Amino acid sequence: MGIFQKALGYFSKRATVSLDEYFCKLQVDYVYRKLAIETCIDLIANAMSKAEFKSYEQGKNKKNELYYRLNVAPNKKTNATEFRKKLIRRLIFYNEVLIVSPSNESSEIFIADSWSVTEYGLKEDVFSQVQINNIVLDRDFLESEVIYIKYSDARIRELVDGFYQAYGKLISSAMNVYKRSNARRYVLKGELFRPQDNTTQGQINEMMTSQFKAFMEADNAGAVFQLQNGYTLEDFSGNFQSNSRDIKNLIDDIYEMTAAAFHVPKNLLKGDMSGLSDQVDAFLMFIIIPVAELIQDAFNASVYEQEEYLAGNFLRVDTTMIKIVSFKDLVEASDKGVGSGVFTINEARLRVGNDPVDDPRADKIYITKNYEDTSKGGEANDNNEDISSSEK
């Protein structure tokens, strides 16, 4: 064999890597990171799918074409829930979202998968090479022709990834320590100096490999080891055992850090249902409502001119339906809402998930005597009777 062949043989042996070992290392550094981030995104996206996009004309709620696009079907290929989940995923995962309407003849809207942008300091930016699914649109878009939403100046995901690079190594190390410390360990005592002929060496190899393999495998329900004369086998496995809690604590650290980065309550992220109501309130306050307002402002700035907005034409994202409230609390809140004139009966019915009724009285505003203006000499009695009503 020549020098070249010997060199190839040497390096091929040195470069041999187990695929299981290679992918295991990749998984440790990737799986927990992916799981934590995906769980955060799913929580936010699922919550936003319950929100209602309300359109207003002259200050009154109207179910117009924009309402249909944002609550039913943005386009023929996507429903509103799919659209919102994709919007939230791109907004959080990539820090930005571009929404376009490919044709001036249609009101359909799509979320772009990729694009190029030419930024200008004092005039509108230009978006080009806009790709939707597998199609690249053959036109450029001015900034006023699209809805561009940017989540934050710094990509939270990149900051989280930097944290994971260190913690991924710690988890890998902890897993290796756990596997090594909990591995079966034996000491074989006996006369190990034997003739180095093929027959004797083959017998030793048979005992040390084939017999030990069946004896050591955890999947075997039972195994018999044929120990030769002159040998004793002592078990030292229990002297090096490690606790898997160290690994779990490191994984919990990843979840807590991810929850803090995305402003999601850590117990909610880990599936802990204790104090659920308070967790949901914090979830709504610190992430859902800010994201809803960000989307709302982007649509209002892009869809409506200043004069239209000031005239009462705007979009509002209603997040009040996200949190599930008990029936008793709903009834009590509806009673107070209707009696104080905050809601009509039909509006209260919609709030609790019921359909409106055709009775004209259900669209009137009612004020109980508890809220009567007594400054003109009127007196409020102890009965909660409806004393005034008006068409809304």
Phi, psi (deg, nearest 5) at residue 250: -65, -40
pLDDT at 312 (0 to 100): 93
pLDDT at 43 (0 to 100): 92
The model's confidence at residue 72, banded by pLDDT at 50, 70 and 90, is very high
Higher-scoring residue by pLDDT: 182, 279: 279
Q: Which runs of E-coded beta strand occur in 51-146?
A: 52-57, 60-61, 96-100, 110-111, 114-118, 126-132, 135-136, 141-142
Half-sphere exposure (Cβ direction) of 52: Cα atoms closer than 13 Å: 13
What is the average pLDDT across 184-212?
Answer: 69
pLDDT digits (tens, 9 = 90+) for 296-353: 999 999 999 999 999 999 999 998 888 877 667 777 778 888 888 888 988 888 777 6
- Distance between CA atoms of residues 340 and 368, nearest Å: 7
Higher-scoring residue by pLDDT: 154, 49: 49
The model's confidence at residue 159, banded by pLDDT at 50, 70 and 90, is low
Residue 117: exposed, middle, or buried by beta-carbon count in 10 A (0-12, 13-18, 19+)? middle
CB 233 within 8 A of CB 188: yes
What is the average pLDDT across 264-275?
Answer: 86
Q: Where are the domains of the chain?
A: 17-95+151-182+241-322, 183-238, 325-392
pLDDT at 341 (0 to 100): 85
Higher-scoring residue by pLDDT: 197, 290: 290
Q: What is the dihedral of CA 88, 288, 323, 300, to 10 degrees?
A: -80
Task: Name which of 83-97, 141-155, 243-257, 362-376 the model is least confident about.
Answer: 243-257
First to last CA, the chain: 97
At residue 6, does pLDDT exceed 60? no
What is the average pLDDT across 149-173?
Answer: 64
Q: What is the dihedral of CA 234, 240, 241, 244, to 10 degrees?
A: -150
Please name every residue paired with 141 in a beta bridge, in sequence order, or none if there are none. 127
At residue 280, does pLDDT exceed 60? yes
At residue 182, does pLDDT exceed 80? no
Q: What per-residue string of b and e applies to 276-306 under the rule 16 or more CB within 10 Å gives b?
A: eeebbebbbeebbbebbebbbebbbebebee
